[in-house]
Amino acid sequence: MFAIGPVAFATPWLLSLLIALPILWLILRAVPPAPITRRFPGVALLLGLEDPEAETDKTPWWLLLLRALAVAAMIIGFAGPVLNPDERTPGQGPLLVVADASWASARDWSDRRERLDALLAEAARDGRPVALLQLTDLPAPELAFGTPEALRARLPGFEPRPWPVQTDAVLDWLAQVEGTFDTFWMSDGLGYDGRDALLEAFEARGAVRVFESPRVAYALRPPVIDGREVTVDVLRNGGIADASVMVIARGPGPNGISRELGRAEVTFEEGARIAPASFELPPELRNRVTQFEIPGQPTAGAVTLADDGLRRREIALFTGRDDREGLELLTPLHYLRRALAPTADLMEVPFGDALLANPDVVILADVAQLAEAEARALTDWVEQGGLLLRFAGPRLAASEVSRAEEDPLMPVRLRAGGRSVGGAMSWGEPKTLRAFGETSPFFGLAIPEEVVVTAQVMAQPDPDLPQRVIASLTDGTPLVTRKPVGQGQVVLMHVTANAEWSTLPLSGLFVQMLERLAVSSRPAALTAEALAGTVWIPERLLGPFGSLEEAGQLAGIAGETLAEAPLGAEVPPGLYAGSDRVLARNVMGPESEIAATSWPARISVEGLESTRDQPLAGWLLTLALILLALDIIAALWLSGRLRQGTRGGVTGAFIVAMLAGNAASTGPAWAQDGPSSSLDDQLALQATTDVVLAHVITGDRAVDDIALAGLRGLSQVLTNRTSIEPAEPLSVNIETDELAFFPFLYWPITERQSLPSPEAYAKLNRYLRGGGMILFDTRDADVAQFNTDTPGMRMLRRLAAPLDVPPLEPLPQDHVLTRTFYLLQDFPGRYTSRTLWVEAAPPDAEQVDGMPFRNLNDGVTPLVVGGNDWASAWAVSDDGRELVPIGRGFSGRQQRELSYRFGVNLIMHVLTGNYKSDQVHVPALLERLGQ
Amino acid sequence: MSRPKYSEALHTPDSLRHRSETVSGSLPPLMLEAEHLAATIMLGHHGRKRSGMGDEFWQYRPAEVGDGVRTIDWRRSARADTPFVREKEWQAAQSLMIWVDDSASMAFTGGRDRPSKLRRAQTLSMALAILSIRAGERVGLTTLHEPPKAGNIQLIRLAQALMDPVEPDDYGSPVFTQMPSGARAAFFSDFLGDTAGVEKALTSAADRGVKGALVMILDPDEEAFPYDGRTVFESMSGAIRFETLKAKGLREAYIERLAARKDALETLCRRTGWRLDIHHTDHAPEEALLWLYHALERVR
């Protein structure tokens, strides 16, 4: 490859074309710019003039330079220049490619694989044998160097593992391998203990190159419940200040499909490695959360699984003995409350209410006899999977419950009276507990020495007693018995829940036992002690990219191992199922942190991009295009075409803009629904800023114009005379416009108007039910008198048929419309028909003696139907002149005035409802009526 | 007030009438002073401060021999012993002849925001005509075969005649088929063509005792010559071509020649008793009209 300094050329021979540049210079110089032709009347004055100088018939030097530069940029661009060509000196000898391939590598795995591919290609060029070592999945201690091609073929199947690197195992492995080799280390960017030791071990075998991605790795700690909040700590290994990360809580939705249940955003401060993300989730929602994750981080570390630890069980507590009020420490429930409150939601409500809430556990502390209904309900609940935990006590011991025959809600029959050991009046020492048997759920729990039992109730030695005992005293008497009932179980502690009969409630064992019985959820930290003796079966495991996958048939893992062993092939992260519980093992523990790597200065660390060649062809060709665009402008300017701001200049600017747009290859994306939604908004704003009267567009231009002018006139009258000050009226298209903004619609009827669509009818019905009013005006009262049937009426009937219209009646004398503002009896418009139809009064409306009018409809009549062509009487032009002549002379003026008064009354009625119908106003109205 | 945008550089008959009504509305009716009263016999509104034919009352005088019986004012005579004759003031109307150059060069406009020279000339001439008609004068076009007439109907005729098809020549020179002696005249043109025609017209008009005004209407581009670069200049019809390699270099010479042309016209006017105004289309037409008002009024 031919190179000049840091730039190399793919096809250097093209550069020879640069020799042609001077020739081009000469040619261009000889050809002047084309003349522009202008029409100019003053040409007569120009005739005979001589050009003072003949210089500009040649192209000016700077334009030549511009063009020459453009051509040069093109030639060089096509010659394929490359900045920083990859010209590493080829290495020799075997090459070991070491990949951390931990969970953190998954964040940019495809980039890593590409880099690996490039590396293998380079090794293939150099003819080096290559071996690949995955630190999270160590092969047999032997290095099998092979051809890079073979390795490249296997590359697509090469995946990271969802756990961190265990350096000890790697060091052991390395100690067993012989030979020298160069190392290419693909680091995951996490600093861990022992990385330096590893580096030294590799350096002992040959040169080490390190590759590290600059991307920040994020991880999540397991969730911690703190009161109502769930806190998930977000970890990172570096990065800038103010970087914000989204954390999502995920769980099954109501339909069982996993969905987002909550999200929180955290912002890292300068240099901070930890930022807590708090979720405030209602208990119902929180109990459904199965995992927290960071979107956009496809790693196992950016997912933390929620197990039973996040579930807070609902526990209903009952005691039969609440007479000793005030003696806190003696209450049977005191120790239970203390033990359970941190990890469970306690309910202490009446019995019937508690079962309705469907608690997970019901605890009966020294409750002997249950009412029959209560017992039946409790039995049903237990059979459906509930856990009933009973504690003994003086009452139970004294009662006849489960004496002669076994109570369904008791695991065993009891002997009368119980027993007392080690007391002042008895022989023997207080008894301690015997170690838990293997079948017991408590197996593995250490028994503290201080736990002693001084009194207990005794089980009758029935045949199935031994199977039901899950804990016993040193002398073999059962201490805890259990019986399955349906899908649930009943557990009896043969001692009291307080410290009267035993010291068990005072010890930590009590809490652990409750935990094992799945009464309480476990605390956040897993301890080998608490899990001792249990076996856990992998249920679902975390994949390397943070997805939960079915575990398949895998062997169970001992509880101690699960709690303590580091994550690895033996204990992969995921969900493990125990007898009653589900445990999650996450990549990050509650105390984990992640840190950035720190490599010694002698090691060269390369990023994903640093070694890449930088092809310059695109830049140079863009430069050539820009220069040519400049040339267009310059040529236009030179010939005077740009000067006048006429089309030439505009075109030039347009071309330049086009070129710039192409070079940037980005264009503005217009929102598709922009104009229409903004129109809707405009209408909404216009209609709601003030009260606005509106009319329905009929499609008949003249009618619509008069209707609008009529409403304008009415609006002016309203503004002048009343406190209603409407804005300029609007025309409404019932098909497309929203009607809800308008309190009142004027609808002139024309014969030729088309019927609204079903959607529009639905809208109209919604409008009428929502309190809107429509004034239908058939505009034919001059011919419609004496009960003739006019075309307008027929049209109105067809139009209003699908409308949800109440029964109508001719306006009665005492209708509220007659007195909402003016006292009116006639409602003339352009015509003076007296018939006006409104919603019928209820049939039971009767006139009370002494009252001038009945107490009529509550609310506004949704329809007013008439034919007086009110809009014509109201109509005024923009400058306030009446548009339509009404009547003759003074009587005409009076008629127009009355029609305005009707309009005022109508709008008052629309806006104030039956306010004036209120009988409170009767005295004042009577006075005004002169009665 | 923002400058009106001209959607069309040229007038239509409607817009011509409308626009010129607007312009002429801003001046008091233009009263032309008749210089040679005796030379015209038609009646106008110019009282001559002597008895004669007209509508306005002038004086009563005792009837003399030769007075017709019909001229005796019987009401006045009844108050005295001798018959009186009622005399009226002698009124005369002036004729205004207008010539608007409608050659191709007048259709030029250098910018979209200004009208063509022709449109401006038409506006001005119609405004002048309207003022004169309102004042009771008679107005005619030199190119028409009919004598000047008064009355609003004449305005419509004028407007139509002004809108007649454009002469195909590049430059026009005043022609008159009608030029009543003693009349007034107003010539609107860019006067960029040959001056011989103008000279001839003006001298022959002066011979007939016609005085008037030349309005040289120029586009600002014609005044400033804002061109550069290699340019081929064409006359409006394309008949005349002139190529330059650097238009900028010609500016001085052009402006010089234009000034010389203005000087020549000025000299010509001074010799014949006419007056010359140079009007630019980017200026308001009222300026030119005001100037015309004074120019036509002042000459006595």
Q: Provide DSSP, B31-80.
A: -PPPS-TTT--S--SEEEEEEEEEEEEEEEEE--TT--GGGB-HHHHHTS
Which value, in Å, is the radius of gyration of the alpha carbons in chain A?
Answer: 46
Q: Chain B residues with CB inside 8 Å of A36's CB?
A: 229-232
Buried b / exposed e along A815-831 (16+ C-beta atoms within 10 A): bbbbbbbeebeebbbbb
pLDDT given at position A708: 92
Name the token pair of A319: 């005691």
Residue bearing the bigger pLDDT, A885 or B48? A885
Nearest to B222 among A36, A37, A41 (CB): A41
Share of chain A above pLDDT 90, in %: 5
Domains located in chain B, CATH noted: 13-37+93-298 (3.40.50), 46-92 (no CATH)
For residue B37, name the pLDDT band (cuts at 50, 70, 90): very low
Cα A586 to Cα A235: distance, rounded to the nearest angstrom? 14
Verify whether the Cβ–Cβ distance B229 to A36 is below 8 Å.
yes
How remote is the C-alpha of B69 from its chain's centroid? 44
Residue bearing the bigger pLDDT, B214 or A754? B214
Q: Chain B residues with CB inside 8 Å of A41's CB?
A: 105-106, 108, 170-171, 190, 192, 219, 222, 235-236
Name the range with the highest mean pLDDT among A189-193, A541-545, A725-729, B166-170. Answer: A725-729
A52 touches chain B (CB under 8 A): yes
pLDDT given at position B42: 38
List, as ranges, residues 769-808 from A with C-beta within 8 Å of B: none
For residue A931, name the pLDDT band (cuts at 50, 70, 90): low
Which of A321-330, A773-782, A866-875, B70-79 comes out lowest in average pLDDT? A321-330
Nearest to B190 among A41, A52, A639 (CB): A41
For A50-74, write each residue's pLDDT tens digit: 776 655 556 677 888 888 888 888 8
Which of A47-61, A235-249, A835-849, B250-264 comes out lowest in average pLDDT? A47-61
A38 touches chain B (CB under 8 A): yes
Torsion of Cα atoms, A339 then A342 then A345 then A349, to 10°: 50
pLDDT given at position A904: 93
Verify whether the Cβ–Cβ distance A38 to B227 is below 8 Å.
yes
Share of chain A above pLDDT 70, in %: 86
| In the predicted structure, residue A110 carries a pLDDT above the cut 80 | yes
Name the range with the highest mean pLDDT among A115-119, A421-425, A635-639. Answer: A115-119
| In the predicted structure, residue B29 carries a pLDDT above the cut 60 | no
- What residues contact residue B153 under an 8 Å CB cut-off, 6+ apart? none
Q: CA dist A914 to A56, A509, A824, A859, Å?
A: 89, 75, 16, 6
pLDDT given at position A623: 92
For A490-503, write each residue's pLDDT tens digit: 999 888 888 888 88
| In the predicted structure, residue A524 carries a pLDDT above the cut 70 | no
Closest to A161 (Cα-Cα) out of A588, A570, A568, A595 = A568
| In the predicted structure, residue A276 carries a pLDDT above the cut 80 | yes
CB-based burial of residue A176 (10 Å sphere; 0-12 exposed, 13-18 middle, 19+ buried)? exposed
Give the position of tokens 């996958």.
Answer: A549
pLDDT given at position A33: 65
pLDDT given at position A56: 52
Verify whether the Cβ–Cβ distance A56 to B232 is below 8 Å.
no
Q: What pTM value is reported for the model? A: 0.43
Which value, in Å, is the radius of gyration of the alpha carbons in chain B?
Answer: 23
Phi, psi of A456 (to 5 degrees): -160, 165
What is the mean pLDDT of the segment spanning A253-282?
Answer: 83
Query: E strand or H helix at A539, and its extent?
Result: strand A535-542
pLDDT given at position A668: 38
pLDDT given at position A613: 60
Distance from CA of B200 to the nearest CA of A (A): 20
Cα A148 to Cα A272: distance, rounded to the nearest angstrom? 42
Cα A271 to Cα A247: distance, rounded to the nearest angstrom? 20
pLDDT given at position B34: 26
| In the predicted structure, residue A240 carries a pLDDT above the cut 80 | no
Cα A97 to Cα A182: distance, rounded to the nearest angstrom? 8
For residue A672, name the pLDDT band (cuts at 50, 70, 90): very low
pLDDT given at position A713: 92
Nearest to A35 among B190, B235, B243 (CB): B243
| In the predicted structure, residue A378 carries a pLDDT above the cut 70 | yes
pLDDT given at position A423: 61
Name the token pair of A26: 């000469």
For A581-637, write each residue's pLDDT tens digit: 778 888 888 888 888 888 887 777 776 554 556 678 888 899 999 998 988 888 777
Residue bearing the bigger pLDDT, A652 or A82? A82
A56 touches chain B (CB under 8 A): yes
Residue bearing the bigger pLDDT, A658 or A450? A450
Closest to B37 (Cα-Cα) out of B182, B144, B197 = B182
CB-based burial of residue A73 (10 Å sphere; 0-12 exposed, 13-18 middle, 19+ buried)? buried
- What residues contact residue A855 under an 8 Å CB cut-off, 6+ apart? A845, A848, A917, A919
For A827-841, write each residue's pLDDT tens digit: 888 888 878 888 877
- What residues contact residue A926 under an 8 Å CB cut-off, 6+ apart? A852
B167 touches chain A (CB under 8 A): no
The amino acid occupying position B9 is A
The size of chain A, in residues, is: 931
User: What are the beta bridge partners of residue B139?
Assistant: B96, B149
Buried b / exposed e along B64-103 (16+ C-beta atoms within 10 A): eeeeeeeeeeeeebeeeeebbbbbebbbbbbbbbbbbbbb
**DSSP code, position A707:** H
For residue A171, name the pLDDT band (cuts at 50, 70, 90): confident
A907 within 8 A of A746, measured Cβ to Cβ: no
For residue B4, name the pLDDT band (cuts at 50, 70, 90): very low
Give the nearest chain B residue to A54 (CA atoms).
Answer: B245
For residue B41, name the pLDDT band (cuts at 50, 70, 90): very low
Give the nearest chain A residue to B112 (CA atoms).
Answer: A646
Verify whether the Cβ–Cβ distance B246 to A53 is below 8 Å.
yes
CB-based burial of residue A539 (10 Å sphere; 0-12 exposed, 13-18 middle, 19+ buried)? middle
Verify whether the Cβ–Cβ distance B231 to A38 is below 8 Å.
yes
A643 touches chain B (CB under 8 A): yes
Domains located in chain A, CATH noted: 2-33+56-85+618-664 (no CATH), 95-216+596-606 (3.40.50.410), 320-516 (3.40.50.880), 678-929 (3.40.50.12140)
| In the predicted structure, residue A148 carries a pLDDT above the cut 50 | yes
| In the predicted structure, residue A557 carries a pLDDT above the cut 80 | yes
pLDDT given at position B143: 83
Closest to A317 (Cα-Cα) out of A391, A222, A424 = A391
pLDDT given at position A651: 54
Cα B45 to Cα B137: distance, rounded to the nearest angstrom? 8
pLDDT given at position B263: 92
Looking at every residue in chain B, the average pLDDT score rounds to 76
Looking at every residue in chain A, the average pLDDT score rounds to 80
Interface probe, candidates A43, A633, A637, A642, chain B, greatest B C-beta count within 10 A: A43
For residue B5, name the pLDDT band (cuts at 50, 70, 90): very low
Give the position of tokens 């000025």.
Answer: B266
The amino acid occupying position A688 is T
Nearest to A37 among B225, B234, B249 (CB): B234
Cα B124 to Cα B97: distance, rounded to the nearest angstrom? 13
For residue B1, name the pLDDT band (cuts at 50, 70, 90): very low
Does the ipTM exceed 0.85? no
For A390-399, write each residue's pLDDT tens digit: 988 887 887 7
B89 touches chain A (CB under 8 A): no
Torsion of Cα atoms, A584 then A585 then A587 then A592, to 10°: 100
pLDDT given at position B91: 62
For residue B216, name the pLDDT band (cuts at 50, 70, 90): very high
Share of chain B above pLDDT 70, in %: 78
Give the nearest chain A residue to B108 (CA atoms).
Answer: A41
What is the mean pLDDT of the segment spanning B6-12?
Answer: 57
| In the predicted structure, residue A642 carries a pLDDT above the cut 70 | no
Closest to B289 (Cα-Cα) out of B127, B114, B133 = B127
For A892-923, write each residue's pLDDT tens digit: 888 999 999 999 999 988 888 777 776 666 77
| In the predicted structure, residue A324 carries a pLDDT above the cut 70 | no
For A81, other C-beta atoms within 10 Å of its C-beta total: 23
Cα distance from N-terminal residue to C-terminal residue, chain A: 115
